[in-house]
Structure 1
Amino acid sequence: MKTASAPMASYGVEPGIRFALLLDGRGGCRQIDMDGVCAWKPGDGVIWLHLERDHPAAAEWVNRKGGFDSFVAEALLEEETRPRVEPVDDGLLIILRGVCATAPDEAEEQHSELDLVPLHLWVDGDRVVSLRDSGHYITALRDIRAALEKGKGPQRSGDLLALIGEKLVRDLEPVLDGMDEEVDELDEMVFHGEAGEVRERLKLLRRGSVQLRRYLAPQRDALNRIEHDDAPWLIERDKLRLREVIDKLMRFIEYLDAIRDRTGILHDDLSTVISERIARNSNRLAALAALLLPPSVVAGLFGMNVGGIPGVNDTWAFIVIVGFVTVTSIATLWALRRIGWL
């Protein structure tokens, strides 16, 4: 008979710790505090400790109490990282990236640009230690924790690792769908001549797609290395699930390549629209200058302050000049239309 899981405490009760869970091996867990973490022994069950990477208390635990090799401790606390996997003894040092989500207590806050959160992991047969920056939030970890609370979560460390990979990739799909819809919208805007707003949105979209692909390709390679690792706590079922995650990542990378190509075409179309608009405006200015040329020449000639200007004493001279200018302007207008400038 399955025992009920203990009620979950709120996030971040102790400094530097988001939560610490002791898995019961049947899909459930119970929450423990830092004293419980320090008193934990491998025979007590699989422990999942989630820390804030940039908090001094978390750094203190990793460096002094976690029992990590100095290389592992340094990598877990490193600030700028790319997805990678390093086997160390029977464990794996794993660095992945996940989509930043809005925390439950910050529902009103919206992220204007795509934000990929580094997730640092140490996984072995007895424990999983994960770290992420305090200013970010990853939906994948929240969902796994909620499943454990209901008694339907992972049972082993390999099971938990595979589930983290699945959830991280799952959260990428709506991001890519949103990018694809925005490309369609920008395409319509360019087609209807709305180039002003398109330029800025297209720049942000291209930047987001490049940033996302920059991390997805090494993340695929990292997960592929996990799938081929011979760690004893990774069973065949875990590797099959990771293989599915890798296949999804490969499709997402191809999807991003298609989005990048479409945004490149949109950029070319936008440049063409802008060039045509500039050329059209230049033709109009040139046509206007050509229409004003005859009156300007006549006004310049008859406006000179010199002797001998004809028609000075003739009352019909002004009417004749106006008629000449009108006929000349009409002829110029006809010629401009004839050559397609107007």
Structure 2
Amino acid sequence: MPLSADPEAPASPFAGLPAALWLYRFDAEGRARILDAAKCGPSALDAFADGWHWLHLDLSDARSAQVVAMLPIPDDARTALVSPDTHVNLQLEDDAAHGVFVDWVHQRGVDLAAEGQLRGDDGIGWLHFAATPGLLVTARRQALRSVEAARRGMAGDMRAGSPVRLLEVIADHFADTVERSSDSLSVRLDRIEDRVLADSIGEERRDLAQLRHQTVRLHRPLTAMRRVLKQFEQRHPADAEHELLSAVSRLNQRFDDLDGDVGTLQERARLLQDEVAAKLAERTNRHLYVLSMITALLLPPSLVAGIFGMNLPGLPFAHGTHGLVFALLLGAASSVAVYLMLRRMGVARST
């Protein structure tokens, strides 16, 4: 039995649904037909035979709260739609579901088909939703990538037989973005690993730091979605007949696989960063070793030059014709003597 609008809701000072970004009607076969939201009132959203509606609201519109108050949905669902809550959650009460999902912010002008992976400046947003057997209401404050992808799909050949199915499609689009981004990061990590193994280290530390930051951006919202879906599945019996339970089970399986992939990327990047740090430390040690050897070999000639530069009476070779040659030979001999001593001690041997 369809829910009725709140009888205590104030009378609408406007016509239609002014806060609606779009309104679709789905027939019995799941085909979508767009409606003019400016000409449809809340009464047009009542469930009809073998069909349902999808209403998408802009929460940045001040009139959205009044529109939500007139929708034929439970009070808890109304509260979830207009709440400023930014925590992922999912609730099911009788035949009505409501909650908040995380999604990627949609950048205007980005071709979703050609650019499915995340960019460096893509942030996260929050999708508020309420679903009854005959109505799906979604609301957001920023344009969301997965919702936009679902809308374009429904405007094409994609079909959705129920509000729960459309909600699953939106979550699947979120997972698609994570999967494509994860694959792209894996390819980048493979290239960095090849350069590290070839001992061709340049900007790998910077590249790995950026890559690890991007994997964290993927992992955090994915973990939030996965945790909430797991908790939802645990709160409800496995033999429940509601369509949302089977959808959550499918999403859980996919998110588990994605979480494993992203976790593997994080571990590979961390280990590779440790290897790069070890190689750079080894290279630095080699340079310091060379500098130390040069310093040790030049110390005795410096001592000889310091002694003969004191300009005091009684210095050897001071009045000889070949005094300079003898001093240079003495300095060179002292360097050779130090080198042989270091070799005997094992310091000058190559590692």
TM over 0.5: yes
Correspondence 1:86 to 2:97: no
- How far apart are 1:209 and its partner, in Å? 2.2
Structure 2 stretches of 5 or more lacking a match?
1-16
Report the Cα distance in structure 2 between the residues aligned to 1:253 and 1:84, rounded to whole angstroms: 18
Q: How does 1:189-338 map to 2 (within 5 A)?
A: 189-224=195-230, 239-333=245-339
- Structure 1 residues 105 and 280, CA, compared in 2 at 3 Å: closer, same or farther? closer
* Match 1:24 to one of 7, 23, 27: 27
The 8 Å contact of residues 21 and 58 in structure 2, kept in 1 or not, is answered as yes
Q: Which moved more, 1:152-161 or 1:53-62?
A: 53-62
- Structure 1 residues 25 and 104, CA, compared in 2 at 3 Å: closer, same or farther? farther
- How far apart are 1:171 and its partner, in Å? 2.6
- How far apart are 1:86 and its partner, in Å? 2.2
Report the Cα distance in structure 2 between the residues aligned to 1:93 and 1:102, rounded to whole angstroms: 26
- Structure 1 residues 56 and 237, CA, compared in 2 at 3 Å: closer, same or farther? closer
The 8 Å contact of residues 42 and 72 in structure 2, kept in 1 or not, is answered as no
Question: Deviations for 1:224-258, whole angstroms, at most 9, x for unmatched residues?
Answer: 45667879xx9666644442222111111111221
Report the Cα distance in structure 1 between the residues aligned to 2:83 and 2:203, rounded to whole angstroms: 39
In structure 2, the residue matched to 1:119 is 127
Question: Deviations for 1:93-138, whole angstroms, at most 9, x for unmatched residues?
Answer: 222223445444679998325644322222122221222342x441
What secondary structure sits across from 1:56 in the alignment? coil
What secondary structure sits across from 1:310 in the alignment? coil
Report the Cα distance in structure 1 between the residues aligned to 2:76 and 2:47, rounded to whole angstroms: 26
What secondary structure sits across from 1:288 in the alignment? helix
Report the Cα distance in structure 2 between the residues aligned to 1:314 and 1:95, rounded to whole angstroms: 96
Report the Cα distance in structure 1 between the residues aligned to 2:190 and 2:202, rounded to whole angstroms: 17
Q: Which moved more, 1:146-155 or 1:98-107?
A: 98-107
Correspondence 1:98 to 2:115: no
What secondary structure sits across from 2:40 in the alignment? helix
1:51 is aligned with what amino acid?
L
Q: Which moved more, 1:185-194 or 1:314-323?
A: 185-194
Correspondence 1:36 to 2:54: no
Report the Cα distance in structure 2 between the residues aligned to 1:133 and 1:157, rounded to whole angstroms: 21
In structure 1, the residue matched to 2:62 is 56
Structure 1 stretches of 5 or more lacking a match?
1-13
Name the TM-score, length of structure 2 as normaliser: 0.77
The 8 Å contact of residues 85 and 225 in structure 1, kept in 2 or not, is answered as no
- Of structures 1 and 2, the one with the larger relative CO (CA 8 A, separation 6+) is 1
2:291 is aligned with what amino acid?
L
- Structure 1 residues 18 and 327, CA, compared in 2 at 3 Å: closer, same or farther? farther
What secondary structure sits across from 1:171 in the alignment? helix
